[in-house]
Amino acid sequence: MNPVIEKIRSCEEKLSLFMERLEVIYKKMDGKYKEAANYYGFFCGGCEENCCFTRFYHHTFVEYLYIIKGFNTLGQGNQAEIREKALLVWRQTAELEKSGLPVRLLCPLNYEGLCALYSYRPMICRLHGIPHELIIPGREKILSPGCKEFMSRCGEKEYVIFDRTSFYTEMASLEKEFKAAFVISERIKLTVARMLAS
Ligand code: SF4
């Protein structure tokens, strides 16, 4: 295991306080997402454009540790299977990149359309799909559309405000505190496959 992750995991008490704070942020996100989804009548039920095929990168240690926390709740057999899938995705990604081909591989946590660690999934997986906005001081508001499935099913409906700004801000502050608390200077940019393959 990555020595930084090992170091963090050795401070159990401190880590669990951060995990609790992350859960509070996730709860707020899920609540707001649900409100917007209910307004549109948009519910993910698996689709051809499955977003779990998208190569999402995650940038926070705090979310990385939360995925590991979830992973550790699984039985040994499931863990071994997921790790094997993750390794395969990691290797295939490297091969595709080397050949200059697009990478579209299913996340190793996806089982028949469902996330094996749904309650532990990272922020981007929680927020994906619904049209949203982002407010960066000194710049024009950034408006982004929903996913392809959303646009075909609910694209006609009038936009309801779904502002991601506070979630990004809170996540960035938590990560900053987390890195200070565990004396981490490096940055990360990892897929779920990469997190679980090591
Ligand atoms: S973590 Fe879960 S929701 Fe996110 S891409 Fe993987 S399977 Fe999909």
Q: How far is the CA of 138 from the centre of ligand 1 (A)?
A: 33
CB of 192 sitting under 6 A from ligand 1 = yes
What mean pLDDT, rounded, does the chain reach? 95
CB of 110 sitting under 6 A from ligand 1 = yes
Q: What is the pTM of this model?
A: 0.93
Domains of the chain: which residue ranges? Answer: 3-197
What's the pLDDT band for 11 if we cut at 50, 70, 90?
very high
- Pick the residue whose CA is nearest to atom 5 on ligand 1: 52
Beta-bridge partners for 83? none
- Which pLDDT belongs to residue 2? 82
For residue 134, the SS3 value is strand
Q: Are 56 and 189 a contacting pair, CB within 8 Å?
A: no
CB of 171 sitting under 6 A from ligand 1 = no
Flag whether pLDDT at 22 surpasses 90.
yes
Q: Please give the helix or strand (H or E) that residue 99 lies within, else none.
A: none
Flag whether pLDDT at 62 surpasses 80.
yes
CB of 174 sitting under 6 A from ligand 1 = no
What's the pLDDT band for 46 if we cut at 50, 70, 90?
low
Averaged pLDDT, 109-113: 92
Within the chain, strands assigned E span 110-111, 114-115, 132-134, 142-144
What's the pLDDT band for 113 if we cut at 50, 70, 90?
confident
Averaged pLDDT, 124-153: 95
- Which pLDDT belongs to residue 166? 97
* Packing angle, helices 165-181 and 12-40, rounded to 10: 170
What's the pLDDT band for 36 if we cut at 50, 70, 90?
very high
